[in-house]
Amino acid sequence: MESAGGSVRDTRRPAAAALVTDLACVLVFATSGRRSHSEALSLAGVAATAWPFLAGTLLGWLLSRGWRRPASLVPTGLVVWLCTVVAGMALRKATSAGTALSFVIVAILVTALLLLGWRAALAVVARRRAR
């Protein structure tokens, strides 16, 4: 199957890579948070911390149709980031996990740095290459 810009496979690779990058960023966030609080870095422990935020990331991908412009800072990155934080915190609250104000602030800042940061870095590199 061919699309106007190449094969379907050619258009899926960047989207898959961006989705995996976003999910990895959330795992880095969860792992670093657990480590900073001297909590176990077991697979089960990281999964317990990460799952609400991973669900929010996937929701953000669906709402933004992230596969269309996966590395785009706006709208994809912004929607993914906001959904990661808002849905993640809502799910944590619904499951009686911690949502202390300090944690919410750290989550907002760290996930912004991670989820928006890699997209901003790619944009800078693309601009420099275009010159």
Is-cis flag, bond preceding 75, omega within 30? yes
Amino acid at 65: R
Q: What residues does each domain of the chain span?
A: 2-130
Q: Between these two residues, 82 and 6, which has the higher pLDDT value? A: 82
Whole-number pLDDT of residue 36: 87
| Phi and psi, residue 123, nearest 5° | -65, -40
Prediction pTM value: 0.89
- Percent of the chain past pLDDT 90, that is, above it, reads 85
DSSP strand E in the chain: where? 2-3, 6-7
Count CB atoms within 10 A of the CB of residue 117: 15
* pLDDT tens-digit readout, 1-60: 344 445 555 668 999 999 999 999 999 999 999 998 887 889 999 999 999 999 999 999
- Report how far residue 47's alpha carbon sits from residue 77's, in angstroms, rounded to the nearest whole number: 23
